[in-house]
Amino acid sequence: MFFLSLSILLSVFLLLNFRLFPRYEINTFQAIVFNYPICFLTGWLLLPAGQSFTIDFSQTWTWLSLGLGVGFILTFLLSGASTQRTGITATSLANNLSLVIPVCFSLFVFRTGGGASGFNTLNYLGLVLALVAVGLSTYKKEQRAEKQGDAQRRQSGRLGLNILLPVGVFLFYGATNTMINYMNLHYIPSADKTVQVTLTMVLGAIVAGLGMLIVRVIQGKETIQAKSLIGAVTLGVPNFLSFYTLLLALSAFGSNGAFVYPLYNIGVILVAALMAMLFFREKLSTANKIGLGLAVLAIGLISWQELVKLGA
């Protein structure tokens, strides 16, 4: 549970960074692009004694890792477009609800944690409550102007694209998390190899991110800002560590994504809501409070077997 809890806390710290970037006029896109070299440096410093980072292009996991790094960037861009066109509510729901994809793959394809037979009625009830909790916890009432804008977009024939964007976010987040679980199951047999694989993923993100930034600079759409480098540091270190500890958590629980991902997603929502109330004075609606309560119940139902083991 230690690595899972640490991954949740680090992920929330990432959200706090994004919330503070506008206040300090930090270019979010540039901070994200430059955070990946910081991620790489952080991972390189965490390499076990006697190991050095090398890339073996003859290995299948190398190409999978590089491709996954590109997927990180593409998912971010898709999330940005969805947020601009459909709003934060729809995008946030699509992001968090995507946990159902790695969970289903873990249960019915990878057969981890005993496969589908390893889950009983209480566990499945917890999964259902988890989805309901995620929806209620992230629900925000749309402003009337936004509703009117939605009506205008429907009239202009762009509703199809607006629907496809959050669907794309759902599929991309679900696919990347599923691939992470697959790689952890088949290509990361020990904690020593975790850093190597993670560094390769980060390298793929570096190449893709810098490539996009160079194109935008040439097109005159971006001007490099020094503040972005500061934001990259505060973003990059926890970014790598959150991902690294999530992989360690998956290893600790036998790559059982059906157990880890629901706890991770709901844990991030709970802790983020608490931080938002404490530091940003955000108020929760009745639906949000009900969702947070259901999230706690869902955690207990999904993980009751593991909690019993911890108490034994």
State residue 311's pLDDT score: 57
Q: Is the pLDDT score of 153 beyond 60?
A: no
Mean pLDDT for 290-301 is: 83
Cα distance between residue 194 and residue 244, in whole Å: 7
In this structure, of 56-60, 153-157, 167-171, 190-194, the range with the lowest mean pLDDT score is 153-157
CA 172 to chain CA centroid, nearest Å:
10
Q: What is the chain's mean pLDDT, rounded?
A: 79
Q: How far is CA 254 from CA 153, 165, 264, in A?
A: 47, 34, 15
Q: Is the pLDDT score of 207 beyond 90?
A: yes
Cα distance between residue 251 and residue 189, in whole Å: 8
Q: Is the pLDDT score of 144 beyond 50?
A: no
DSSP the chain: -HHHHHHHHHHHHHHHHHHHTTTTT--HHHHHHHHHHHHHHHHHHTSPTT------TTSHHHHHHHHHHHHHHHHHHHHHHHHHHH-HHHHHHHHHHTTHHHHHHHHHTS-GGGGGGG--HHHHHHHHHHHHHHHHHH--PPPHHHHHHHHHHHHTT-HHHHHHHHHHHHHHHHHHHHHHHHHHHHT--SHHHHHHHHHHHHHHHHHHHHHHHHHHHHTTS----HHHHHHHHHHHHHHHHHHHHHHHHHHHTTT-HHHHHHHHHHHHHHHHHHHHHHHS-PPPPHHHHHHHHHHHHHHHHHTHHHHHHHH-
Listed residue (107, 105, 122) closest to 308, CA to CA: 122
State residue 292's pLDDT score: 81
State residue 124's pLDDT score: 83
Dihedral (Cα; 49, 52, 53, 58), 10-degree rounding: -120
Kindly state the percentage of the chain with pLDDT values over 70. Answer: 80
Confidence of residue 141 (pLDDT cuts 50, 70, 90): low
173 contact partners, CB below 8 Å, separation of at least 6: 75, 94, 95, 98, 101
Highest mean pLDDT range out of 10-24, 34-48, 261-275?
A: 34-48
Between 17 and 208, the more confident residue is 208
Between 66 and 275, the more confident residue is 66
- To the question of pTM greater than 0.75 for the whole model, the response is no
Mean pLDDT for 184-190 is: 68
Cα distance between residue 115 and residue 107, in whole Å: 5
Tell me the pLDDT tens digit for each residue of 49-86.
777 788 888 888 889 889 998 998 888 778 767 766 76
Mean pLDDT for 147-171 is: 63
Q: Is the pLDDT score of 98 beyond 90?
A: no
Asked if 297 contacts 121 with a C-beta cutoff of 8 angstroms, the reply is no
Q: Is the pLDDT score of 271 beyond 60?
A: yes
Q: Is the pLDDT score of 156 beyond 50?
A: no
Confidence of residue 150 (pLDDT cuts 50, 70, 90): low
Can you give the residue ranges of every domain in the chain? 2-47+57-311
DSSP 253-265: TTT-HHHHHHHHH
Between 100 and 249, the more confident residue is 249
Cα distance between residue 132 and residue 151, in whole Å: 27
State residue 204's pLDDT score: 92
Highest mean pLDDT range out of 75-89, 133-147, 175-189, 212-226?
A: 212-226
State residue 140's pLDDT score: 63
Q: Is the pLDDT score of 34 beyond 90?
A: yes
Asked if 138 contacts 269 with a C-beta cutoff of 8 angstroms, the reply is yes
State residue 233's pLDDT score: 94
**How deeply is 219 buried, as exposed, middle or buried, from its count of CB atoms within 10 A (0-12, 13-18, 19+)?**
exposed
Tell me the pLDDT tens digit for each residue of 215-267.
999 999 889 998 899 999 998 999 889 888 988 888 888 767 667 877 887 88
